[in-house]
Structure 1
Protein backbone atom coordinates (compact mmCIF):
# COMPACT_ATOMS: atom_id res chain seq x y z
CA UNK A 1 0.00 0.00 0.00
CA UNK A 2 2.84 2.39 0.89
CA UNK A 3 4.49 1.69 -2.46
CA UNK A 4 1.22 2.34 -4.29
CA UNK A 5 0.69 5.63 -2.48
CA UNK A 6 4.29 6.66 -3.21
CA UNK A 7 3.83 5.84 -6.91
CA UNK A 8 0.61 7.85 -7.07
CA UNK A 9 2.33 10.77 -5.34
CA UNK A 10 5.18 10.72 -7.86
CA UNK A 11 2.71 10.62 -10.77
CA UNK A 12 0.83 13.56 -9.30
CA UNK A 13 4.03 15.57 -9.00
CA UNK A 14 4.96 14.71 -12.58
CA UNK A 15 1.53 15.83 -13.76
CA UNK A 16 1.87 19.14 -11.94
CA UNK A 17 5.32 19.70 -13.42
CA UNK A 18 4.07 18.95 -16.94
CA UNK A 19 1.08 21.22 -16.48
CA UNK A 20 3.21 24.09 -15.20
CA UNK A 21 5.47 23.69 -18.23
CA UNK A 22 2.66 24.17 -20.74
CA UNK A 23 2.98 27.38 -22.73
CA UNK A 24 0.39 30.01 -21.87
CA UNK A 25 -1.31 30.72 -25.17
CA UNK A 26 -4.88 31.78 -25.99
CA UNK A 27 -5.29 28.52 -27.97
CA UNK A 28 -4.33 24.89 -27.40
CA UNK A 29 -1.89 24.71 -30.31
CA UNK A 30 -0.54 26.56 -33.29
CA UNK A 31 0.02 25.12 -36.76
CA UNK A 32 2.80 24.59 -39.27
CA UNK A 33 1.84 24.32 -42.95
CA UNK A 34 4.00 23.08 -45.83
CA UNK A 35 3.34 23.73 -49.51
CA UNK A 36 4.86 24.15 -52.96
CA UNK A 37 3.93 25.49 -56.41
CA UNK A 38 1.91 23.16 -58.62
CA UNK A 39 3.95 20.40 -60.35
CA UNK A 40 7.08 21.34 -58.35
CA UNK A 41 7.11 18.16 -56.27
CA UNK A 42 8.56 18.35 -52.76
CA UNK A 43 9.17 15.88 -49.96
CA UNK A 44 9.85 17.46 -46.57
CA UNK A 45 12.28 15.43 -44.49
CA UNK A 46 11.76 17.40 -41.29
CA UNK A 47 10.51 20.62 -39.74
CA UNK A 48 12.12 21.39 -36.37
CA UNK A 49 11.43 24.30 -34.03
CA UNK A 50 13.06 26.16 -31.18
CA UNK A 51 10.35 27.94 -29.24
CA UNK A 52 10.68 31.27 -27.43
CA UNK A 53 11.58 29.46 -24.19
CA UNK A 54 14.61 27.95 -25.93
CA UNK A 55 13.18 24.41 -26.06
CA UNK A 56 13.90 22.36 -29.19
CA UNK A 57 11.35 20.05 -30.82
CA UNK A 58 12.20 17.80 -33.75
CA UNK A 59 10.17 16.39 -36.65
CA UNK A 60 7.02 18.37 -35.90
CA UNK A 61 5.98 18.07 -39.56
CA UNK A 62 7.11 16.46 -42.80
CA UNK A 63 6.23 14.31 -45.78
CA UNK A 64 4.16 15.25 -48.81
CA UNK A 65 3.24 18.93 -49.13
CA UNK A 66 0.09 20.59 -50.47
CA UNK A 67 0.36 22.10 -53.95
CA UNK A 68 -1.15 25.43 -54.85
CA UNK A 69 -2.92 26.17 -58.12
CA UNK A 70 -0.13 28.36 -59.46
CA UNK A 71 3.08 27.12 -60.99
CA UNK A 72 4.95 30.35 -61.76
CA UNK A 73 4.74 32.64 -58.75
CA UNK A 74 3.51 32.06 -55.22
CA UNK A 75 0.22 31.65 -53.50
CA UNK A 76 -0.20 33.59 -50.23
CA UNK A 77 0.38 30.86 -47.67
CA UNK A 78 -1.44 27.81 -46.42
CA UNK A 79 -0.51 24.23 -47.25
CA UNK A 80 -0.77 20.91 -45.44
CA UNK A 81 -1.28 21.87 -41.81
CA UNK A 82 -0.04 20.10 -38.69
CA UNK A 83 -1.02 21.15 -35.14
CA UNK A 84 1.91 21.81 -32.80
CA UNK A 85 0.83 21.18 -29.21
CA UNK A 86 2.67 21.85 -25.93
CA UNK A 87 5.15 24.05 -27.81
CA UNK A 88 5.43 27.79 -27.24
CA UNK A 89 5.51 30.30 -30.08
CA UNK A 90 8.36 29.76 -32.53
CA UNK A 91 11.69 31.53 -32.28
CA UNK A 92 13.39 29.58 -35.07
CA UNK A 93 12.24 27.00 -37.61
CA UNK A 94 14.52 24.57 -39.43
CA UNK A 95 13.32 22.92 -42.63
CA UNK A 96 15.00 20.23 -44.70
CA UNK A 97 13.38 19.14 -47.94
CA UNK A 98 13.91 17.29 -51.20
CA UNK A 99 13.10 19.21 -54.37
CA UNK A 100 12.22 16.20 -56.50
CA UNK A 101 12.02 18.00 -59.84
CA UNK A 102 15.73 18.92 -59.83
CA UNK A 103 16.49 16.72 -57.80
CA UNK A 104 18.25 18.46 -54.89
CA UNK A 105 18.08 18.52 -51.10
CA UNK A 106 17.95 21.83 -49.22
CA UNK A 107 18.12 23.00 -45.64
CA UNK A 108 16.93 26.33 -44.27
CA UNK A 109 16.86 28.20 -40.99
CA UNK A 110 14.01 30.70 -40.55
CA UNK A 111 14.34 33.17 -37.68
CA UNK A 112 10.86 34.32 -36.71
CA UNK A 113 10.72 38.08 -35.97
CA UNK A 114 9.09 39.32 -32.77
CA UNK A 115 6.31 41.04 -34.73
CA UNK A 116 5.14 37.61 -35.91
CA UNK A 117 4.77 36.30 -32.35
CA UNK A 118 2.97 39.53 -31.43
CA UNK A 119 0.61 38.97 -34.36
CA UNK A 120 -0.02 35.37 -33.24
CA UNK A 121 -1.22 36.64 -29.84
CA UNK A 122 -3.43 39.45 -31.14
CA UNK A 123 -7.19 38.70 -31.13
CA UNK A 124 -8.89 39.83 -34.31
CA UNK A 125 -12.44 40.35 -35.50
CA UNK A 126 -12.78 38.70 -38.89
CA UNK A 127 -15.41 37.85 -41.47
CA UNK A 128 -15.63 34.11 -42.17
CA UNK A 129 -16.89 33.69 -45.70
CA UNK A 130 -17.69 30.02 -45.20
CA UNK A 131 -20.09 30.77 -42.35
CA UNK A 132 -20.98 34.20 -43.75
CA UNK A 133 -20.63 35.87 -40.38
CA UNK A 134 -18.26 38.02 -38.36
CA UNK A 135 -16.42 36.31 -35.51
CA UNK A 136 -14.44 37.73 -32.60
CA UNK A 137 -11.25 36.38 -31.04
CA UNK A 138 -9.76 34.98 -34.23
CA UNK A 139 -5.98 34.46 -34.21
CA UNK A 140 -3.24 34.14 -36.78
CA UNK A 141 -1.79 30.93 -35.35
CA UNK A 142 -0.59 29.34 -38.62
CA UNK A 143 3.00 29.50 -39.82
CA UNK A 144 3.15 28.22 -43.40
CA UNK A 145 6.26 27.54 -45.45
CA UNK A 146 6.33 27.34 -49.24
CA UNK A 147 9.26 25.63 -50.98
CA UNK A 148 10.27 25.93 -54.63
CA UNK A 149 13.08 24.65 -56.88
CA UNK A 150 16.39 26.42 -56.50
CA UNK A 151 16.03 26.40 -52.71
CA UNK A 152 13.69 29.39 -52.66
CA UNK A 153 11.23 29.49 -49.76
CA UNK A 154 8.69 31.87 -48.30
CA UNK A 155 6.93 31.96 -44.95
CA UNK A 156 3.58 33.45 -43.91
CA UNK A 157 1.58 33.89 -40.72
CA UNK A 158 -2.19 33.54 -40.95
CA UNK A 159 -5.26 31.95 -39.47
CA UNK A 160 -8.88 30.93 -40.02
CA UNK A 161 -10.92 33.74 -41.59
CA UNK A 162 -7.80 35.94 -41.59
CA UNK A 163 -5.47 36.85 -44.45
CA UNK A 164 -1.91 35.58 -44.55
CA UNK A 165 0.94 38.05 -43.96
CA UNK A 166 4.28 37.34 -45.58
CA UNK A 167 7.11 36.91 -43.08
CA UNK A 168 9.95 36.72 -45.58
CA UNK A 169 11.59 35.20 -48.63
CA UNK A 170 14.63 32.97 -48.12
CA UNK A 171 17.41 31.23 -49.99
CA UNK A 172 18.12 27.76 -48.61
CA UNK A 173 21.49 26.01 -48.69
CA UNK A 174 22.17 22.74 -50.44
CA UNK A 175 22.35 19.88 -47.95
CA UNK A 176 25.84 18.41 -48.53
CA UNK A 177 24.80 15.01 -47.16
CA UNK A 178 22.12 14.68 -49.82
CA UNK A 179 18.67 13.16 -49.33
CA UNK A 180 17.83 11.63 -45.94
CA UNK A 181 21.16 12.82 -44.49
CA UNK A 182 23.03 10.34 -46.70
CA UNK A 183 21.22 7.32 -45.28
CA UNK A 184 19.65 6.29 -48.61
CA UNK A 185 22.80 6.36 -50.75
CA UNK A 186 21.54 9.34 -52.75
CA UNK A 187 18.09 7.88 -53.37
CA UNK A 188 15.28 10.45 -53.28
CA UNK A 189 11.84 9.85 -51.82
CA UNK A 190 10.43 9.24 -55.32
CA UNK A 191 12.83 8.38 -58.15
CA UNK A 192 10.19 9.36 -60.75
CA UNK A 193 7.86 12.34 -60.91
CA UNK A 194 4.11 12.11 -61.29
CA UNK A 195 3.20 12.01 -65.01
CA UNK A 196 1.52 15.46 -64.92
CA UNK A 197 4.58 17.01 -63.26
CA UNK A 198 6.98 15.37 -65.68
CA UNK A 199 4.88 16.52 -68.65
CA UNK A 200 4.73 20.10 -67.39
CA UNK A 201 8.49 20.30 -66.85
CA UNK A 202 9.21 18.70 -70.22
CA UNK A 203 7.07 21.34 -71.95
CA UNK A 204 7.80 24.44 -69.85
CA UNK A 205 10.94 23.74 -67.88
CA UNK A 206 11.37 24.89 -64.27
CA UNK A 207 10.43 28.59 -63.87
CA UNK A 208 13.20 29.42 -61.40
CA UNK A 209 12.88 33.18 -61.74
CA UNK A 210 9.17 33.28 -60.85
CA UNK A 211 9.64 32.72 -57.11
Structure 2
Protein backbone atom coordinates (compact mmCIF):
# COMPACT_ATOMS: atom_id res chain seq x y z
CA UNK A 1 0.00 0.00 0.00
CA UNK A 2 1.27 3.52 -0.74
CA UNK A 3 2.37 5.53 2.25
CA UNK A 4 0.03 8.37 3.26
CA UNK A 5 1.35 11.76 2.24
CA UNK A 6 2.70 13.93 5.02
CA UNK A 7 2.33 17.71 5.01
CA UNK A 8 5.72 19.45 5.32
CA UNK A 9 6.40 21.08 8.66
CA UNK A 10 6.73 24.52 7.03
CA UNK A 11 3.30 24.17 5.46
CA UNK A 12 1.78 23.12 8.80
CA UNK A 13 3.39 26.13 10.49
CA UNK A 14 2.08 28.47 7.78
CA UNK A 15 -1.42 27.03 8.09
CA UNK A 16 -1.40 27.47 11.86
CA UNK A 17 -0.27 31.10 11.48
CA UNK A 18 -3.10 31.78 9.02
CA UNK A 19 -5.67 30.15 11.31
CA UNK A 20 -4.41 31.98 14.40
CA UNK A 21 -4.24 35.30 12.54
CA UNK A 22 -7.78 34.82 11.30
CA UNK A 23 -8.99 34.04 14.80
CA UNK A 24 -7.17 37.06 16.22
CA UNK A 25 -8.68 39.40 13.64
CA UNK A 26 -12.15 37.97 14.23
CA UNK A 27 -11.78 38.31 18.00
CA UNK A 28 -10.73 41.97 17.92
CA UNK A 29 -13.26 42.99 15.28
CA UNK A 30 -15.92 45.18 16.91
CA UNK A 31 -18.52 44.84 14.14
CA UNK A 32 -20.62 41.85 13.02
CA UNK A 33 -19.47 41.53 9.38
CA UNK A 34 -16.24 40.52 7.67
CA UNK A 35 -14.89 43.91 6.58
CA UNK A 36 -15.84 47.50 5.81
CA UNK A 37 -15.03 49.28 2.54
CA UNK A 38 -13.28 52.57 1.85
CA UNK A 39 -14.96 54.17 -1.17
CA UNK A 40 -14.22 57.41 -3.01
CA UNK A 41 -16.10 59.51 -5.54
CA UNK A 42 -15.88 62.96 -7.11
CA UNK A 43 -18.22 65.40 -8.78
CA UNK A 44 -18.98 65.34 -12.53
CA UNK A 45 -16.14 66.81 -14.62
CA UNK A 46 -14.13 67.59 -11.46
CA UNK A 47 -11.70 64.76 -12.06
CA UNK A 48 -9.36 63.58 -9.30
CA UNK A 49 -6.65 60.99 -8.77
CA UNK A 50 -5.80 59.46 -5.39
CA UNK A 51 -2.06 59.14 -4.84
CA UNK A 52 -2.57 57.31 -1.55
CA UNK A 53 -5.19 56.67 1.11
CA UNK A 54 -4.09 55.22 4.45
CA UNK A 55 -6.18 54.11 7.41
CA UNK A 56 -5.59 53.93 11.17
CA UNK A 57 -8.19 51.76 12.90
CA UNK A 58 -9.55 52.19 16.43
CA UNK A 59 -6.92 49.79 17.78
CA UNK A 60 -4.09 51.87 16.33
CA UNK A 61 -3.20 49.53 13.47
CA UNK A 62 -2.09 51.24 10.24
CA UNK A 63 -3.27 50.07 6.80
CA UNK A 64 -1.30 51.80 4.07
CA UNK A 65 -2.43 51.91 0.47
CA UNK A 66 -6.07 51.29 1.35
CA UNK A 67 -7.01 53.37 -1.69
CA UNK A 68 -5.37 54.72 -4.84
CA UNK A 69 -6.08 55.51 -8.48
CA UNK A 70 -8.89 57.18 -10.35
CA UNK A 71 -11.97 58.59 -8.64
CA UNK A 72 -15.44 57.89 -10.04
CA UNK A 73 -17.14 61.11 -11.17
CA UNK A 74 -20.09 59.93 -13.27
CA UNK A 75 -19.26 62.35 -16.09
CA UNK A 76 -17.42 61.96 -18.39
CA UNK A 77 -18.82 58.46 -18.77
CA UNK A 78 -16.77 55.47 -19.84
CA UNK A 79 -18.38 55.77 -23.27
CA UNK A 80 -17.72 59.49 -23.78
CA UNK A 81 -16.21 60.42 -27.12
CA UNK A 82 -15.17 63.99 -27.73
CA UNK A 83 -17.00 67.06 -26.44
CA UNK A 84 -20.82 66.74 -26.17
CA UNK A 85 -23.21 69.38 -27.42
CA UNK A 86 -25.00 69.24 -24.05
CA UNK A 87 -23.26 68.65 -20.71
CA UNK A 88 -25.55 66.50 -18.57
CA UNK A 89 -23.59 66.20 -15.34
CA UNK A 90 -24.09 68.73 -12.52
CA UNK A 91 -20.94 69.09 -10.39
CA UNK A 92 -22.33 71.43 -7.73
CA UNK A 93 -23.51 70.00 -4.42
CA UNK A 94 -23.57 66.37 -3.33
CA UNK A 95 -25.88 63.43 -4.15
CA UNK A 96 -28.32 62.15 -1.52
CA UNK A 97 -26.95 58.60 -1.47
CA UNK A 98 -23.32 58.56 -2.61
CA UNK A 99 -21.67 55.22 -3.21
CA UNK A 100 -18.37 55.61 -5.00
CA UNK A 101 -15.95 52.78 -5.62
CA UNK A 102 -13.08 51.32 -3.64
CA UNK A 103 -11.99 48.26 -1.77
CA UNK A 104 -12.49 46.42 1.49
CA UNK A 105 -9.95 47.12 4.25
CA UNK A 106 -9.34 43.54 5.31
CA UNK A 107 -8.13 42.90 8.85
CA UNK A 108 -8.98 46.37 10.13
CA UNK A 109 -11.31 47.27 12.93
CA UNK A 110 -13.44 50.36 12.40
CA UNK A 111 -11.59 53.45 11.11
CA UNK A 112 -10.35 56.15 13.47
CA UNK A 113 -8.40 58.17 10.91
CA UNK A 114 -8.19 58.28 7.13
CA UNK A 115 -5.34 60.10 5.42
CA UNK A 116 -5.81 60.85 1.73
CA UNK A 117 -3.55 62.68 -0.71
CA UNK A 118 -5.03 63.42 -4.10
CA UNK A 119 -4.64 65.41 -7.28
CA UNK A 120 -7.54 67.69 -8.13
CA UNK A 121 -6.94 67.75 -11.88
CA UNK A 122 -9.71 70.30 -12.43
CA UNK A 123 -7.61 73.09 -10.88
CA UNK A 124 -4.91 71.55 -10.93
CA UNK A 125 -3.73 71.18 -7.33
CA UNK A 126 -2.49 68.48 -4.93
CA UNK A 127 -4.28 68.21 -1.57
CA UNK A 128 -4.03 66.10 1.55
CA UNK A 129 -6.55 65.64 4.33
CA UNK A 130 -6.55 63.97 7.73
CA UNK A 131 -10.09 62.76 8.31
CA UNK A 132 -10.99 61.85 11.89
CA UNK A 133 -13.93 59.46 11.99
CA UNK A 134 -16.14 60.23 15.01
CA UNK A 135 -17.32 57.60 17.48
CA UNK A 136 -20.89 58.35 16.40
CA UNK A 137 -19.98 56.90 12.98
CA UNK A 138 -18.66 53.73 14.62
CA UNK A 139 -21.97 53.31 16.45
CA UNK A 140 -23.84 53.59 13.15
CA UNK A 141 -21.52 51.13 11.40
CA UNK A 142 -22.09 48.49 14.10
CA UNK A 143 -25.89 48.76 14.03
CA UNK A 144 -27.96 46.48 11.83
CA UNK A 145 -31.12 47.94 10.27
CA UNK A 146 -33.91 46.68 8.06
CA UNK A 147 -33.42 47.81 4.50
CA UNK A 148 -35.21 47.15 1.23
CA UNK A 149 -32.98 45.89 -1.58
CA UNK A 150 -34.39 46.76 -4.98
CA UNK A 151 -32.17 44.25 -6.77
CA UNK A 152 -33.59 41.27 -4.86
CA UNK A 153 -36.96 42.77 -3.95
CA UNK A 154 -36.47 41.73 -0.32
CA UNK A 155 -36.15 43.35 3.10
CA UNK A 156 -32.95 42.34 4.85
CA UNK A 157 -30.89 43.27 7.90
CA UNK A 158 -28.13 45.41 6.45
CA UNK A 159 -25.19 47.36 7.83
CA UNK A 160 -23.60 50.65 6.87
CA UNK A 161 -20.26 49.08 6.10
CA UNK A 162 -19.22 51.54 3.38
CA UNK A 163 -17.15 54.54 4.40
CA UNK A 164 -17.72 56.88 1.46
CA UNK A 165 -15.45 59.89 0.89
CA UNK A 166 -16.39 62.60 -1.60
CA UNK A 167 -13.51 64.69 -2.95
CA UNK A 168 -14.01 68.12 -4.51
CA UNK A 169 -11.89 71.04 -5.75
CA UNK A 170 -10.63 73.36 -3.05
CA UNK A 171 -9.50 70.40 -0.97
CA UNK A 172 -12.94 69.40 0.31
CA UNK A 173 -13.44 65.89 1.68
CA UNK A 174 -16.92 64.93 2.85
CA UNK A 175 -17.70 61.58 4.48
CA UNK A 176 -20.75 59.36 4.76
CA UNK A 177 -21.42 55.85 6.03
CA UNK A 178 -23.74 53.83 3.82
CA UNK A 179 -25.02 50.32 3.26
CA UNK A 180 -25.90 48.50 0.04
CA UNK A 181 -29.58 48.64 1.01
CA UNK A 182 -29.54 51.57 3.48
CA UNK A 183 -29.51 55.33 2.97
CA UNK A 184 -26.21 57.15 3.51
CA UNK A 185 -25.64 59.23 6.66
CA UNK A 186 -23.21 62.16 6.65
CA UNK A 187 -20.63 61.91 9.45
CA UNK A 188 -18.02 64.62 8.85
CA UNK A 189 -16.58 67.22 6.46
CA UNK A 190 -12.91 68.20 6.28
CA UNK A 191 -11.08 71.08 4.65
CA UNK A 192 -7.86 69.64 3.26
CA UNK A 193 -4.62 71.55 2.74
CA UNK A 194 -2.31 71.95 -0.25
CA UNK A 195 0.47 69.38 -0.21
CA UNK A 196 3.71 71.41 -0.46
CA UNK A 197 5.54 68.67 -2.37
CA UNK A 198 3.07 68.84 -5.24
CA UNK A 199 1.96 65.93 -7.42
CA UNK A 200 3.65 62.56 -6.89
CA UNK A 201 5.65 63.85 -3.95
CA UNK A 202 7.57 66.26 -6.16
CA UNK A 203 8.75 63.58 -8.58
CA UNK A 204 6.83 64.75 -11.64
CA UNK A 205 8.27 68.22 -12.11
CA UNK A 206 5.03 69.78 -10.89
CA UNK A 207 2.96 68.11 -13.61
CA UNK A 208 -0.47 66.79 -12.64
CA UNK A 209 -2.39 64.12 -14.48
CA UNK A 210 -4.24 65.65 -17.45
CA UNK A 211 -7.97 66.28 -17.59
CA UNK A 212 -10.04 64.57 -20.23
CA UNK A 213 -11.06 66.71 -23.18
CA UNK A 214 -14.70 66.71 -22.06
CA UNK A 215 -13.97 67.84 -18.49
CA UNK A 216 -11.64 70.58 -19.68
CA UNK A 217 -14.32 71.86 -22.07
CA UNK A 218 -16.90 71.90 -19.24
CA UNK A 219 -14.62 73.85 -16.90
CA UNK A 220 -13.62 76.29 -19.63
CA UNK A 221 -17.31 76.99 -20.25
CA UNK A 222 -18.86 76.89 -16.78
CA UNK A 223 -15.96 77.14 -14.33
CA UNK A 224 -15.60 75.35 -10.98
CA UNK A 225 -18.52 75.76 -8.53
CA UNK A 226 -16.45 76.50 -5.42
CA UNK A 227 -18.56 76.98 -2.30
CA UNK A 228 -21.19 74.40 -3.30
CA UNK A 229 -19.50 71.52 -1.48
Q: TM-score, normalised by structure 1?
A: 0.91
Give 3-state SS (helix, strand or coil) of 1:11's partner: helix
Question: Max radius of gyration: which structure?
Answer: 2
Whether the 8 Å CA contact 2:133–2:188 is kept in 1: the answer is no
Query: Are 2:203 and 1:197 aligned?
Result: no
Q: Deviations for 1:130-182, whole angstroms, at most 9, x for unmatched residues? A: 222211x2000000111111111200000111000001221101000101111
Shift in Å at residue 13 of structure 1? 4.3
Whole-angstrom distance in 2 between the partners of 1:128 and 1:50: 31
Give 3-state SS (helix, strand or coil) of 2:59's partner: coil
Whole-angstrom distance in 2 between the partners of 1:58 and 1:46: 8
Match of 2:120 in 1: 99
Shift in Å at residue 9 of structure 1? 5.3
Whole-angstrom distance in 2 between the partners of 1:97 and 1:167: 21
Q: CA RMSD in A?
A: 2.0
Query: Are 2:162 and 1:142 aligned?
Result: yes
Q: Which deviates further from its counterpart, 156-165 or 121-130?
A: 121-130
- Uncovered stretches (5+) of structure 2, i.e. residues with no partner: 1-7, 75-88
Query: Are 2:112 and 1:112 aligned?
Result: no
Q: Deviations for 1:3-30, whole angstroms, at most 9, x for unmatched residues? A: x54x355335423431233143322211
Query: Are 2:14 and 1:11 aligned?
Result: yes
Instruction: Map 1:14-93 onto structure 2 (within 5 A).
Output: 14-23=17-26, 24=29, 25-68=31-74, 69-76=89-96, 77-93=98-114
Whole-angstrom distance in 2 between the partners of 1:204 and 1:30: 37
Match of 1:152 in 2: 172
Shift in Å at residue 127 of structure 1? 1.1
User: Any runs of at least 4 consecutive aligned residues in structure 1 with deviations exceeding 3 A, and if so which?
Assistant: 7-10
The structure that is strand-richer by fraction is 1
Q: TM-score, normalised by structure 2?
A: 0.84
Whole-angstrom distance in 2 between the partners of 1:35 and 1:175: 20
Give 3-state SS (helix, strand or coil) of 1:21's partner: helix
Change in CA separation of 1:197 and 1:8 when aligned onto 2, cut-off 3 Å: closer
